[in-house]
Structure 1
């Protein structure tokens, strides 16, 4: 699989967002506390020396190489872009993009007209497995 399999759409001569084939996953990955030491924005001097969590690099790069989309979604601020991109490059992370300024806290709700899967990181990167759990949905 390759990210080149994205289906680029043109409508009325204008490019619109590409369509992901069904087999391609679009991963939004947190940085601090997920792929490396949990470093608050108040301590940016530590960002350059953060330790990579075990298996994070290998797993994310494997997903990238399989053609999945890897985008980091972090609470780091835009002013941390240079140190963040340098750190990711030095450690060999492969990715497609980074979004900065994610609100801090853990009560995230993503509302979308497509299926969204959420996986809470609990200390170890592995292959994902199917699991049934209780979720919140809109009333019928």
Structure 2
């Protein structure tokens, strides 16, 4: 396999991993106010070597088992006898920061993919002359 194919393979695996990460982060952000919602996390893992190139992939989605926020609202039908109910353990600031990081990583992988494709096209044009 050529170096161009290897570079495209690595950057495309990064694109897939970051896209999955963004999907999980968006689910967390969408459920920030959902009572009883546990934040989801997704690890990155290296896959076995494929054509001599190690790639990144996502692991199994995990639930954050940290304590849920206790919200005081005696009028809420989910409230216990003390007036509290379980909120979510999603911290919006952390999720937004993680989403920003994933977006930047996605864009970097996309840029690498585009530059590799352009270099490959330029090389093919040179070889045709």
TM-score (norm 1): 0.20
Bigger Rg over Cα: 2
TM-score (norm 2): 0.21
Query: Which structure shows the higher strand fraction?
Result: 1
Greater relative contact order structure (CA < 8 Å, 6+ sep): 2
